């Protein structure tokens, strides 16, 4: 399942890689277009659907945020395993079957992720901390055996369907950021594992850190972090985290970020 917005060329590369996957005939590919302006051009939209006739497209009328788009996509899936992908990924042919095989073999695993790589085939920034801080480090792996990880970023993550159903939906109080961290925390609280599978590889074009984001993206992330802390450490801790973000932007003279934090506005236009 791929969520995309205004990145039609990256989406095309992602879908081309999925079409080359081993066992393609067993895969259901779903694209949720999250209010793209580019794809609302009828010619571009028709061309994409013509080129990928076996892909199911859902076109949302506006940007509902990544988390809500993910919920729309997984509910349409008819499978025991759901692979969430960002549109800036390219999947190696054997990756999906390998990920599914690990879930088949490891009943202690609730989710698996591939090794994210950059354009040169080197490990890309992938593993983060909880609570999320916006920074990711490349995975350090040796061999091909799956290894347990705490929090892999959601650019490529396969979950058992019942894991999502057990929480009814991914928490939509998160906007563009936070849903992957929330899923990781939910899995950990259930005493289940997330396994990184080194010989399943996915190229990821993303990788910018929090420091390089614009004001709205930074604010969306910081609001998500406060929501995460509130959910798992209590309301008071979440409030302190949000106040720390507000004072941090004030002391750094990041006025745009401060405005969004004070209003609670997220990338999708909704407010916390």
Question: Residue-wise pLDDT tens for the chain (272 aa)?
Answer: 999 988 888 999 999 999 999 999 999 999 998 888 755 555 566 678 889 999 999 988 888 888 889 999 888 888 899 999 999 999 999 999 999 999 999 999 999 999 999 988 899 999 999 999 988 999 988 788 999 999 999 999 999 988 888 888 888 888 888 999 999 999 988 878 999 999 999 999 876 566 677 888 889 899 999 999 999 999 999 999 999 999 999 998 888 889 989 988 777 656 55
Residue 248: phi and psi, rounded to 5, are -65, -45
Confidence at residue 134, expressed as pLDDT on a 0 to 100 scale? 87
Same-domain pairing of 96 and 125: yes
Residue 270 counted as domain residue: no
pLDDT at site 38:
59
176 and 241 belong to one structural domain: no
Torsion, Cα of 190, 180, 17, 145 (10° steps): -40
Distance CA 172, CA 106 (A): 29
- Both 45 and 131 in a single domain? yes
Co-location of 176 and 246 in the same domain = no
Helix (H) or strand (E) holding 50: helix 42-51
Q: What is the pTM of this model?
A: 0.89
Q: What is the pLDDT of residue 65?
A: 82
Q: End of a domain among 165, 181, 204? A: 204
Say yes or no: 24 and 102 in one domain: yes
Report the DSSP pairing between strands 89-91 and 193-204.
Answer: antiparallel
Segments forming the whole domain that contains residue 149: 2-204
Residue 29 lies in a domain: yes
SS3 content of the chain, % helix, strand, coil (to 5): 40, 25, 35
| Residue 96 sits in the same domain as residue 50 | yes
- Longest CA–CA span in the chain (Å) reads 55
Shared domain for 194 and 250, answered yes or no, is no
Q: Is residue 245 domain-resident?
A: yes
Give how many domains the chain has, as a whole number: 2
Contact 194, 110 (CB under 8 A): yes
The residue ranges of DSSP E strands in 118-218, in sequence order, are 125-127, 137-138, 147-149, 156-160, 193-204
Torsion of CA 32, 36, 38, 44, to 10 degrees: 30
Q: What's residue 193's pLDDT?
A: 94
**How far is Cα of residue 81 from the mean position of the Cα atoms in its chain?**
16
- The confidence score (pLDDT) of residue 157 equals 96
């Amino acid at each position: 399942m791929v969520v995309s917005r205004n990145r039609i060329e990256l989406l095309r590369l992602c879908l081309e890689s999925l079409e080359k996957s081993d066992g393609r005939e067993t895969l259901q590919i779903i694209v949720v277009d999250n209010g793209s302006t580019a794809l609302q051009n009828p010619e571009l939209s028709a061309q994409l659907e013509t080129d990928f006739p076996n892909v199911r497209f859902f076109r949302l009328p506006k940007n509902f945020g990544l988390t809500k788009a993910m919920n729309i996509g997984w509910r349409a899936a008819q499978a025991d395993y759901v692979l969430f992908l960002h549109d800036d990924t390219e999947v190696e042919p054997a990756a999906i079957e390998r990920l599914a095989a690990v879930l088949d073999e490891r009943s202690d695993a609730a989710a698996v992720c591939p090794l994210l790589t950059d354009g040169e085939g080197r490990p890309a920034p992938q593993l983060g901390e909880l609570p999320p801080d916006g920074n990711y480090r490349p995975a350090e792996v040796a061999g091909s055996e799956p290894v347990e990880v705490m929090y892999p970023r959601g650019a490529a993550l396969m979950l058992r369907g019942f894991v999502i159903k057990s929480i009814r939906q991914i928490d939509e109080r998160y906007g563009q950021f936070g849903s992957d961290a929330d899923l990781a925390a939910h899995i950990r609280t259930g005493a289940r594992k997330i396994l990184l599978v080194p010989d399943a590889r996915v190229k990821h074009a993303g990788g910018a850190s929090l420091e390089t984001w614009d004001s709205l993206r930074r604010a969306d992330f910081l609001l998500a972090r406060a929501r995460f802390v509130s959910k798992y450490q209590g309301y008071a801790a979440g409030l302190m985290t949000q106040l720390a973000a507000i004072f941090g932007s004030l002391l750094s003279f990041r006025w745009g970020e401060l405005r969004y934090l004070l209003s609670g506005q997220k990338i999708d236009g909704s407010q916390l």
